[in-house]
Structure 1
Amino acid sequence: MQIGLITDSVSHLTFEEALDLAKGLGLSSVEVATGNWSESPHADLPSLVSSAEARAEFAGRIADRGLGLSALTANGNQLHPVSGPEQDEVVRDTIEVASALGVPTVVMMSGLPGGRGDSHPNWITTSWPPENLDILAHQWDEVAVPYWRELAAFARDKGVRLAVEACGGQLVHSVSSMVRLIESVGDPEVVGANLDPSHLMWMGADIPTVIRELGGSIFHVHAKDIRVNGPRAARDGLLDTVAITDPGDRAWNYVTLGLGHPGGETFWADFVYTLRSVGYDGTLNIEHEDTLVNSVEGVGRAADLLRRVTLVEAPDWRPADI
């Protein structure tokens, strides 16, 4: 496995400074956001689409520091009932650029439609009242599945995999909904999972179980932690609408790797080992979203932790060695 950096983690730095940080920490690669929910501080997507020279210059900056480009990210809501087409354009342009650069993976979220006639997305989290299931059926059968089947065909034609990140507030937010999307699309070589354990942690999932259930469907991995704020969680549970900029009043928060999930470094060692057990040998990309910790310090602490637990070399055990 290798350790990489999502450059949006240090969005206040220039691209050169972010790359220098990754190089200085001994990381192997970067992941760069191209738009939609990201302000895309390190990539000019229109230029990358239209100019081979711009793509060469972009790739050259990365390669000159001995780094690879593990993925491009186009997280947004391309299923939004109003702005979906505009966000879909960013997704497709990102796939085009990834194809031109030889980048194997584009990271996305599933998107979240509205109900029939809605102008805003609608996240269904319970089966009651009865109309919830009618809305959910519309979202899956009439919006999401047709869209994703067509997008998967587009990505396959470009030689790019789509790694979907399960996240609260998205149609795909759990293992079961991830499997439903993959099976509904019917192209498991193109549509798989971007495993960001933090989103599943706050919803109560057991991450080693998640890894074993997804198995070979895991295309890409983000390394991000959460910390449950015990008093607030005890009062209100874990569904939380308090702004992320007010961490003291939230039930849970994204935190620097190792400062959140019970078990600390032991948890992350098990995380890496379980990934190895299902055949994952790709990149672990650090994503820093801790509002209480300096981003450069947080990325450095995450890199230090991952270096201690990441398995780098391929296993060489053979049955004859018994």
Structure 2
Amino acid sequence: MAVVPADASDTAPVSAPAGSSGFPSGSAASPATESSATEPSAAARPAVGTADARRGLAVVTGASSGIGAASARALVDAGFDVLLGARRADRLAAVAADIGPAARSRPLDVTDAASVQAFAAGVTSCEVVVCNAGGALGLAPVVAATAAAAEAEEERWRWMWEANVAGVARTVRAFLPALVASGDGRIVVITSVAGHQVYPGGGGYTAAKHAAAAVVQTLRLELLGQPVRIIEVAPGMVDTEFSLVRFDGDAERAAAVYTGTVPLTAADVAEAVTWAVTRPPHVAVARIDLFPRDQASARDVHRRP
């Protein structure tokens, strides 16, 4: 069964101190980025703390749509250059081109260790890594009705673990030296309300997101004393391609998830991400739970007629 993440979808050594672009060579860029007139040198850029200063390099996975793409845009608006990764290379390149000279992209599949290593190659210093790649597949009970259904569900569970849990660990391992080298690294993991609550039919996804939340908490303990802050952002309902992917492209079923309610937008979550990573260095935002007003829990949603 072919699977695609909900929001995820060749280099020489490069460092990314604040005030420089820090882009690894070999990253895809829009034509405008090749002009020195539109991509000023580090010396030509103002120092951090002044108007229009660049804050350094932010890496975003699952950046071809949804929360990842919105986070990339918000981070650039906040003064970061961004390196974007996702499976859907064409859409990823389009997002980078739309953002402009501050963005570069590389294909990335977080379920593939070699892909993660290639994505991170050449990045010797970065300030932020947003682990957003992941997603859900299906909405089925833990105990399937038939052997065939059980086999299919096991494959979905395996992919959800690889994308939402192992993918986070691979990404953090690959970029941790660069984050430490920056002197003020920030790791943001996009989990979910499903990382702290459960609901019927969501066993595979909630198990994976609970594990991702546990990885975040473990990293916070293991990296204590290092110049790295660990941030978890746990959204509730967000109107992205999440449900479309979960339901195998069934647009009608995906739309029904949001019927009668006003969910969060990807930009809402991106704003929370950007706020968290732009706090002063001594301030560590441990976790942000972000719900739409119409949602009280993973199961309880107010719907209007």
Q: TM-score, normalised by structure 1?
A: 0.34
Bigger RCO of structures 1 and 2 (CA < 8 A, at least 6 apart)? 2
Report the TM-score when normalising by structure 2. Answer: 0.35
